């Protein structure tokens, strides 16, 4: 892989992704797959002005080992230093960069009952700290290739060739394959902002989805909500890009206002396992029935994680004729597959999708209809014949998507 291009990608993540501020601490979370690239990122973060960069390494195979030998109560327990770390982050607000590379099937065979129970227990402790940090710090999720992930995407290639090809695909999907990715993303963010402005002027109150695969869903929107996309700002005014890549225009719908059925169009990697060929049926805003050809039990557990896990937190619009979908690659990774075409998300919504959220308490935001949950899980519903119609407050119907692509 061209080292110069990787350094350009690292610069993109530092300057456009987290957009680190002078003197700010940055926490980088990464698996052990690409240590050399992590070095590039750390150097670019310092060049962009970071005062301190902390790298937190993880290794997915160790998760299975821990769950095999540790008792559930030990896995659930928080050490004193862990709570102190959560409190420190809530007060100091470091920027965070997450580099994904894990095997989509890396936790096959793990005790899912135990894993879900531990995750739920620990997330309940973490959530109040996360809520205190919400919309106050910059963060970015991006990706680098891991060997197992690369072989999953390109099974016919030898490992090194698969990793090389996945690097190429990631850079293309992330608009980081050219001479100036930072400038390219400035242009891309402008285009997304213009589309958001158009949709927000429509003042939609509902979206209707229909596709020949059986999808027939109506989702209500919150009065005073807004579509967002690309970069966003912290409450302190720091502009950053939370996802690289990102092709989506999204909004958080009204919790408890969804009826109909929707069918997935790509597998969902959840808790280290794949859920495939599934459907979700909604009544009164809640998922009341799920079906799947693979791992339906895992899907059922997911929507019962808490009260908000069965409700929608996001509706995202991406053209079927998108740069990522046109690659013809199934990534088995939500960061990429969700940006290939339209998706929905179960669970937590986004405060920033509510106009004036910065002057509201969390309780007021929830009362307006932004869903709250321990989870936020995206799943893909875009197809080449998906139609999306927006309903205005006056009852007018506006064709938003026609045959999978933008109609506006």
Look-up: residue for tokens 């199934």?
330
| pLDDT averaged over every residue in the chain | 96
Q: What is the pTM of this model?
A: 0.89
- Could you give the angle at which helices 35-47 and 3-12 cross, rounded to 10 degrees? 50
Q: Are 98 and 141 in contact (CB under 8 A)?
A: yes
Q: pLDDT confidence of 271, banded at 50, 70, 90? A: confident
pLDDT reading at 50 higher than 80: yes
Give the right CATH number for 3-173 from 3.20.110.20, 3.30.110.30, 3.40.50.1000, 3.40.1830.10.
Answer: 3.40.1830.10
Give the number of residues written for the chain: 408
- 107 in Cβ contact with 151 (< 8 Å): no
Q: Which long-range contacts (CB under 8 A, 24 or more apart) does 61-66 make?
A: 61/106, 63/106, 63/107, 63/110, 63/272, 64/106, 64/107, 64/109, 64/110
* pLDDT over 90 (residue 179): yes
Q: How confident is the model at residue 269 (pLDDT cuts 50, 70, 90)?
A: confident
pLDDT value of position 138: 98
**Mean per-residue pLDDT, 296-313:** 95
pLDDT reading at 1 higher than 80: no
Domain boundaries defined on the chain: 3-173, 181-406
Residue 159 C-alpha from the chain's centroid: 27
Contacts of 140 (CB under 8 A, 6+ apart): 13, 17, 18, 96, 97, 98, 240, 241, 242, 243, 244
Please check the confidence at residue 152 and state whether its pLDDT lies above 80: yes
**Pairwise CA distance, residues 178 & 180, whole Å:** 6
pLDDT, tens digit (0-9, with 9 covering 90-100), for 205-220: 999 999 999 999 999 9
């Amino acid at each position: 892989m061209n080292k110069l291009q990787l350094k350009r990608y690292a610069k993109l993540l530092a300057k456009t992704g987290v957009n680190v501020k002078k003197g700010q601490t940055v926490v980088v979370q990464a698996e052990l797959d690409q240590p050399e690239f992590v070095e590039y990122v750390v150097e670019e973060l310092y060049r962009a002005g970071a005062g301190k960069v902390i790298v937190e390494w993880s290794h997915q195979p160790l998760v299975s080992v821990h769950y095999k030998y540790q008792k559930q109560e030990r896995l659930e327990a928080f050490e004193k230093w862990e709570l102190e770390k959560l409190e420190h982050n809530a007060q100091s607000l470091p920027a965070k960069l997450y580099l994904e590379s894990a095997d989509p099937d890396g936790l096959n065979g793990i005790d899912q009952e135990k894993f879900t129970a531990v995750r739920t227990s620990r997330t309940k402790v973490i959530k109040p700290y996360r809520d205190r940090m919400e919309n106050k710090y910059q963060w970015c999720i991006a990706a680098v290739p891991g060997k197992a992930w690369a072989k999953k995407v390109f099974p016919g290639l030898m490992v090194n060739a698969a990793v090389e090809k996945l690097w190429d695909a990631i850079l293309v999907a992330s608009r980081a394959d050219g001479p100036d990715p930072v400038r390219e993303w400035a242009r891309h963010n402008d285009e997304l902002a213009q589309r958001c402005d158009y949709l927000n002027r429509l003042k939609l109150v509902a979206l209707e989805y229909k596709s020949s695969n059986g999808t027939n869903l109506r989702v209500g929107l919150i009065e005073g909500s807004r579509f967002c996309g690309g970069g966003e700002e912290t409450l302190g005014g720091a502009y950053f890009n939370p996802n690289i890549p990102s092709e989506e225009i999204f909004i958080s719908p009204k919790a408890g206002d969804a009826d109909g059925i929707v069918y997935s169009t790509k597998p969902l990697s959840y808790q280290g396992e794949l859920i495939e060929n599934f459907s979700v049926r909604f009544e009164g805003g809640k998922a009341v029935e799920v079906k799947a050809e693979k791992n339906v039990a895992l899907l059922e557990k997911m929507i019962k994680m808490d009260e908000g896990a069965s409700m929608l937190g996001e509706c995202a619009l991406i053209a079927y004729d998108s740069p990522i979908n046109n690659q013809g690659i199934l990534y088995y990774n939500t960061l990429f597959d969700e940006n290939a075409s339209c998706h929905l998300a179960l669970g937590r919504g986004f405060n920033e999708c509510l106009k004036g959220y910065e002057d509201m308490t969390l309780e007021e935001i929830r009362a307006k209809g932004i869903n709250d949950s321990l989870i936020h899980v995206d799943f893909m519903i875009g197809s080449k014949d998906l139609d999306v119609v927006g309903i205005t407050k006056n009852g007018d119907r506006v064709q938003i998507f026609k045959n999978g692509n933008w109609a506006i």
